[in-house]
A and B are shown apart, each in its own frame.
Chain A
Amino acid sequence: MNMPLLILLTALKITVILVVFLTAIAYTVLMERKVLGFIQLRYGPNRVGPWGLLQPLADLVKLLFKEDFTPPMVNKVLFVMAPMITAITAFLPFAVIPFASQILPDTITVYGQTLDLRAAGLNQGVIADVNVGVLYVFAMSSLAVYGAVLGGWASNSKYSLLGGLRLSAQMVSYELALGLSIIGVLMLAGSLSLVQIVEAQKKLWFIFLQPLGFIIFMIAAFAECARTPFDLIECENELVAGYQTEYSSMKWALFMLGEYCHIIVASALATTLFLGGWQGPVLPPIVWFVLKTFILVFVFIWVRGTYPRFRFDQLMYLGWKVLLPLALLNILLTGVVILFLG
């Protein structure tokens, strides 16, 4: 297949996945409002469309038409760049997460011409099977902190700056626990490629071999997404809205987009690493992947409706003195078991 066509088809594939992904984010917001409503014994949004199903559209229109105000004292370039960094770094990890085994046949015939879709993995259920996939995901998520830090600093306001600093301290701390919690999985799978990690779970999901790793991963993922009970950056009574305080309209919406994108990516990553990815009986792979991912997304919302917020010193204590040693212990135990059984 020639190069321009290959690039075109890859771009097409990425676009389709991105559109599906954006829709999923929009409906995650609705799901959160509905589930929280259910937990708090109220209806949640139910005016727009049947069961409030068109609410995301209404929200989008509202956000688009709001005044996009840039306060006069801000550092303009960084103020505009920060939400973009947040949104982009939130999307990028999905490029290496396999959501199905194969989505298209090996070859298709268009107008009598046979196209070999195996080129560049066009028929695979993943955008890019990178041999350091896990590291790529961590590289992108470690960059996510810049959106908050730069947004907080560029806003030139006390609440924003403190919120940005808080979030960066939180994310740098929990990145360690997050990274160490999956070392056990990597040791079992013997690969950094997410596609191969999924295939290594054909017989048994890694959650059964790595229960401790899974728990540490989920707790650290909550902190990385800055979700309740770790949403200290936006606790209203201390920091107004943290680094988002000075933002409005679509710039603010990009921050929100980033947050929900992080939730879905974290759930998809947990599915891939611990729950066997797209594998499962009877139903097609992609259905299994979406199902597992959305169960974890539901857990995110459920926890938000259930737990109160941590104090900042408790957050640091949990990260450095509980999760980090436990993750190291998990690596040690996994190593010993592999040495004697493997």
Chain B
Amino acid sequence: MEYLFYTLAAVALISGALVVFQTHPLRSALWLIVNFFAVAGLYLLAHAEFIAAIQIIVYAGAIMVLFLFVIMLLNLRQPEEELARPRLGLKIAGITLAVISAVLLGMGFAKVVIKPVTEMPVGLGNTESVARLLFTDYLLPFEVTSVLLLVAIVGSVVLAKAKLR
């Protein structure tokens, strides 16, 4: 189990980094899908099967498809033109920033005490418990979120239609 966790964590981190470092937007999107799978695997290891399945259906299956859709429709076949060479001042500023943040991050990490993960309560991420929480304690936020999403949909339709007219 532990090996599985570290493998998935490594895949998640590496693919996450690759999302940022790709020059081509389509490749970034594809690495993001790999990242979603690794995270879904981590959820599975934590016995949150429902969350894992939803992660794949919603993020990998729906949202990223729309992302790919947009990227393809914008026809970004070739990578953007070569970035201009950064000037000396920018280089110095970048390196200084990197060093400072590395030091700060290192100091932060030094204070973190790494200890084994405590056992999750049984069935925390499964369908029944998620549903129970959503429809009792978090009913109002749940419903408000759905209304918010509806407003976003209506808004985007209105914007798109306004352009047509």
Chain A residues near B (Cβ < 8 Å): 130-132, 135-136, 138-139, 142-143, 145-146, 149-150, 153, 156, 161, 164-165, 168-169, 172, 175, 192
Contact = CB atoms under 8 A, between A and B. Distances in A.
A130 B47 CA distance: 12
Nearest to B61: A142
Nearest to B53: A135
Q: How large is the interface on B (under 10, 10 to 19, 20 to 34, 35 or more residues)?
A: 20 to 34
B49 A130 contact: yes
13 contacts: A131-B49, A132-B50, A132-B52, A132-B53, A132-B127, A138-B61, A145-B61, A145-B65, A146-B68, A149-B69, A156-B77, A165-B72, A168-B68
Given A132-B127, A175-B62, A139 B69 contact: no
Interface string B61-101: 11001101100110001000000000000000000000000
B26 interface: yes
Contact of A165 (B30, B52, B73): B73
Interface of B: 26, 30, 33, 49-50, 52-54, 56-57, 60-62, 65-66, 68-69, 72-73, 77, 126-127
Given A135-B49, A143-B61, 16 more contacts: A130-B49, A132-B49, A132-B53, A132-B126, A132-B127, A135-B53, A138-B61, A139-B60, A142-B61, A142-B65, A143-B56, A143-B60, A149-B72, A164-B72, A165-B69, A172-B62
A139 B65 contact: no
A26 B60 CA distance: 30
Contact of A172 (B26, B50, B65): B65
B57 A168 contact: no
A192 B54 CA distance: 13
A29 B20 CA distance: 44
A149 B66 CA distance: 11
Nearest to B64: A146
B64 to A, nearest CB: 8
Contacts of A145: 61, 65
B57 A135 contact: yes
A136 B61 contact: no
Contacts of B49: 130-132, 135
Contacts of B73: 165
B22 to A, nearest CB: 13
